[in-house]
Structure 1
Amino acid sequence: MHSCKIYYSYYIDRLSQSQLDELIFSLPFVMQGKAFAYRRWEDAHAYVLGRTLLRHALDGSDYKLTDIKYSTRGRPYIHGVGDFNITHSGNLVACSLTTHGRIGIDIEMHQPLKMTDFTPQFTAAEWHYIHQHAAPTTSFYDHWTAKEAILKADGRGLIDDLSSLEVSNFNQVILDNITWYLHRIDQFPGYSCQVATDHPNQQYSFIPVKFPL
């Protein structure tokens, strides 16, 4: 059984500028520039904390943030680590790290929305499942995060036609002849979270991280 660790942190309170700067200056120079470019403090926090979680996850290994490379599609990876993926929504940021294969993680905070605005993004079967669910909004976000987790693991990011990716069974989905295994994470109340991997039987563990470190 392969190991998957999910490092996560809530940032309900805004870090002081000195605390944020300390985290920023601990990142590689290129990441520092990206962090300072954000106008909204929430976006800056999400970016910096996500990369800091990854740095924390790499502690004790032979790898550092400077070892990050990018695929032709712009997907970050570190050769030899296994795989990692970062996500954030609301006041929550998470970094998943697996010892084997590919991984994608997506988190979405539950909030009111007009579901009809997203009609083209789901199949008729998916909409039936969503509307028949006891909590349709939660089911909507479960479907959405499942799609995004697969696309993030695959490396292509969002696609124009999300309805072409059917996730109704929530177990496994085939995309371009690759089978992706979905795992719903119920660790975060008020959020939907899905993890997609190309290997089954992942053993999940959760590591909370409080900032400032």
Structure 2
Amino acid sequence: MPLLKLLIINFKLLIMLGTLKVFCFDLDKLTAGSEQHLFDLLTYREKERIIKYVNPLDRLQRACGRVILKRMLIEEGYAENVLQYIRLDQYFRPYIDHLIDFNISHADKQVVVAMSMNTRLGVDVEKVQEIDISNFDRVFVDDEADKIKLSNDPIRYFYELWTKKEAVLKANGKGFHLPLSAISIGSDSASCEAEYWKLQKMQVHPDYCCHLAFSGNQVIEQVTLEPSFLF
């Protein structure tokens, strides 16, 4: 095949494949006083919403997530004041316009922000820690509950399934208006309300589980951020 024709075919394939960006940040990289610095980069409305959280870690997680989102949106050509245009749909899912979709998740010291220009998506990150799995039996269908119990590492497997389901719920957009048991999970795919979602495990930190749910054909770009990106 001639080189020029091959290059044209590859270029068309790249156009067909969207890019889904996943930016990850470890809050332990921040220095003392960073919370105020992050707050200075947010809109008044964002600050008012965040300061309602009593726990300093909750405030820091949310401020960091919003600043990362802001930086990502600016990279895509949005204005410096883009955060003031964020709205909530009928299920309280944040959005800006029909051109782009984004999702934020955080757990303990990890903050993850996913974004794409041409697909619906959801992301969930959870810290793996000891819990009583029996308290969540109603969340899983019978075969899922059995797989958890028979797993070599039931706690880890629980979080693998949990983050997959949460990511799909967030991509679907209805959140907790739908039960987690309504989602059918496969190894790298899921279905919910007759919608099909692809699943991708994200390597964020050894002590955490993180999954991404999305539709269509996507090239996933994962970036581990340094504080310089925020400030």
TM-score scaled by length of structure 1: 0.91
Residue matched to 1:61: 76
- Tell me how far apart the structure 1 counterparts of residues 37 and 201 of structure 2 sit (CA, whole Å): 34
Letter paired with 1:181: K
Larger Rg computed on CA atoms: 2
The structure with the largest helix share of the pair is 2
Identity of aligned residues (%): 26
CA-CA distance at 1:45 after TM superposition: 0.4
User: 1:160/1:65 Cα in 2 relative to 1: closer, same or farther (>3 Å)?
Assistant: closer
Contiguous gaps of at least 5 residues in structure 1: none
Work out whether 1:21 is the aligned partner of 2:21. Answer: no
CA-CA distance at 1:155 after TM superposition: 1.1
Residue matched to 1:46: 61
Residue matched to 1:106: 124
Letter paired with 2:208: Y
Residue matched to 1:161: 179
User: 1:58/1:160 Cα in 2 relative to 1: closer, same or farther (>3 Å)?
Assistant: closer
CA contact (8 A) 1:126 1:166 kept: no
CA-CA distance at 1:80 after TM superposition: 4.5
CA-CA distance at 1:176 after TM superposition: 1.8
SS at match of 2:145: helix
104-113 vs 31-40, greater mean Cα deviation? 31-40
Letter paired with 2:138: P
- Tell me how far apart the structure 2 counterparts of residues 197 and 22 of structure 1 sit (CA, whole Å): 33
Q: Count residues in correspondence.
A: 210
In the TM superposition, 1:1-213 aligns within 5 A as 1-12=17-28, 15-17=31-33, 19-63=34-78, 64-159=82-177, 161-167=179-185, 169-199=186-216, 201-211=217-227, 213=231
SS at match of 1:65: helix
TM-score scaled by length of structure 2: 0.84
Contiguous gaps of at least 5 residues in structure 2: 1-16
- Tell me how far apart the structure 2 counterparts of residues 170 and 71 of structure 1 sit (CA, whole Å): 30
CA deviation profile, 1:141-187 (whole Å, cap 9, x unmatched):
010011110111111112463222221x1332222222111111233
CA deviation profile, 1:102-122 (whole Å, cap 9, x unmatched):
000000100001111111111
- Tell me how far apart the structure 2 counterparts of residues 170 and 20 of structure 1 sit (CA, whole Å): 38
CA contact (8 A) 1:120 1:161 kept: no
96-105 vs 179-188, greater mean Cα deviation? 179-188
